[in-house]
Amino acid sequence: MLMPQLREMVLDPYPLEQVVGRAKPAIASILERSLEGKELGFDDGLALLDTEGNDLIALIRTADHVRKTDLGEVVTYIVNRNINFTNVCFVGCQFCAFARHRKDDDARTDSTEELLGKVQEAIDRGASEICMQGGINPEMDPFAYRDILLAIKAKHPELHIHAFSPMEIMYGSRRTGMNYSDYIQMLRDAGLGTIPGTAAEILDDEVRELLSHKKVDVKTWIEIITAAHRAGVRSSSTLMYGHVEKPHHVVRHIEILREIQKETGGITEFVPLRFIHTYTALYQRGLVDPPPRGLLDLRMYAFARLMLRGRIDNIQTSWVKLGTGLAQLTLAAGCNDFGGTLMEEQISKSAGADAGEYLPVETIRCLIEQMDRIPRERTTLYGRVTNESAHTTSGDAGWRGGSSALPAGPELAH
């Protein structure tokens, strides 16, 4: 479906009651239960992922209504920078086009000085957060992650560091011989603020075997995320859709996140991540078709809003994966957060994403306002930033759209 048609569908002008009334009775009943604040179950999730036509429009409008009821009209965003400090990785995920073998010509690992230079650039442009993830590089020192944190925090104690996926934590833990809990506490004490809930892809071991048989398994992923939460290190949560997964995998994944959240309350947000296929082995070996664009994405975001209602309130869109136009439309399909400025993004770009490596604050605010919503800068933990005007007048200080004026650094997909 083309963008104008998608926009027309999402911005359907009819009253919600009428729109839900046009859905099949079984779908309308699920939507009504969600509107009443009841938690949806596994079969409800499956039904929502199968919606089309009037049913899908009703799902999207209900998700938008729930977002408005629960969170109001504010759309948050964060001024941050991604740093993908190494692209050397031996894991071999079939959906990844970012990783390099250590002997490849374009293999690279940032030195501490390079890292600190990137952090300084981000701070100069008003960033409150650094997001760091990298490949699983066997040549790095066992305590490299801790030492990176110490080096950054020594210079910038106020900066929030959102870093190291459960895969990196598993690897660091093994290399140091520490258990997950002790390892995470060591990182926390060295300055780790929160961790990305990436390396999740689909939380099903059969799917994971197909995507990456060396990757952290479901049990370990859960163990690491909950150990982090217990240590006071909160996390985001993600799901990668549009590849080999089936609807029941997606629903089960959401249920796992809900269970974790019920237990720890440590998840800050949920970010559905569209699979970017072009340069991945998964696509190039003919194992998947390109995911359809538009309806699949809107359905996923709206589904997430309803399934996670009352558990994970912040649903973040991914402009890197979707492009800015479609990301804008997800704001009317349940999203209340536009993610970050990023400044460097190499992982999705390596796989074929063409949305650029960063968005200036002005562009993000404009995209939000065009949807009649209220932009508001936030911290990593969704607190308010009081000096917003400093960013809104940042002008051409390197935060322009299109290709990056800064040295590249990424948002990791793993």
Interface ranges with ligand SF4 (CB under 6 A) = 89, 91-93, 96, 98-99, 135-136, 167, 212, 413-414
* Closer residue to ligand SF4 in complex, CB, 95/399: 95
**Closest distance to ligand SF4 from the beta carbon of 360 (Å):** 27
**Closest distance to ligand SF4 from the beta carbon of 197 (Å):** 14
**Closest distance to ligand SF4 from the beta carbon of 99 (Å):** 4
**Closest distance to ligand SF4 from the beta carbon of 287 (Å):** 16
* Closer residue to ligand SF4 in complex, CB, 34/198: 198
Q: Which residue is nearest to ligand SF4 (CB)?
A: 414
* Closer residue to ligand SF4 in complex, CB, 84/185: 84
**Closest distance to ligand SF4 from the beta carbon of 91 (Å):** 4
* Closer residue to ligand SF4 in complex, CB, 122/240: 240
* Closer residue to ligand SF4 in complex, CB, 279/382: 279
* Closer residue to ligand SF4 in complex, CB, 91/123: 91
The pair of structure tokens assigned to 60 is 């999207």
**Closest distance to ligand SF4 from the beta carbon of 165 (Å):** 8
